[in-house]
Amino acid sequence: KTQVEQSPQSLVVRQGENCVLQCNYSVTPDNHLRWFKQDTGKGLVSLTVLVDQKDKTSNGRYSATLDKDAKHSTLHITATLLDDTATYICVVGENTNTGKLTFGDGTVLTVKP
């Protein structure tokens, strides 16, 4: 059973456009949620982490929201650049000493000129 579902699976936008990525999860407990960016063939780079019951974060052109009641998160990317082309992965961290993480399959974003 998929515990972290991301949508859309893939997305194509024009440079300069905004986009929104969705993450729904059923992981319990949900201590925190992170968004990672993974360039093709590379490792994962953390974009932001959300912790509070209803949380918002901003990191340059990336902003994210979390609603733990709805078990839902969004990642907004404004004024997309060609370098934003990557897979964006939603990850839920459990509230245990292990810090166990559950990963979504990712949304593949392609930014075209």
Partner 1 sequence: EAAVTQSPRNKVAVTGGKVTLSCNQTNNHNNMYWYRQDTGHGLRLIHYSYGAGSTEKGDIPDGYKASRPSQENFSLILELATPSQTSVYFCASGQTGHEVFFGKGTRLTVV
By the rule CB under 8 A, 71 interacts with partner 1: no
- Pairing of β 54-59 and β 62-67: antiparallel
- C-alpha 40: how far from its chain's center? 16
By the rule CB under 8 A, 42 interacts with partner 1: yes
By the rule CB under 8 A, 1 interacts with partner 1: no
- Which of 84/88 has CB closer to partner 1? 88
Task: Determine which residue in the list 1, 60, 69, 96 makes contact with partner 1, applying CB under 8 A.
Answer: 96
**In the complex, what is the shortest distance from the CB of residue 113 to partner 1, in angstroms, rounded to a whole number?**
27
What is the distance between the alpha carbons of residues 37 and 107, in angstroms, rounded to a whole number? 10
C-alpha atoms less than 13 angstroms from C-alpha of 53 in its C-beta half-sphere:
1
Q: Contact 86/64 with Cβ under 8 angstroms?
A: no
Binding site for partner 1 (CB under 8 A): 4, 31-32, 34, 36, 41-46, 49, 51, 89, 93, 95-106
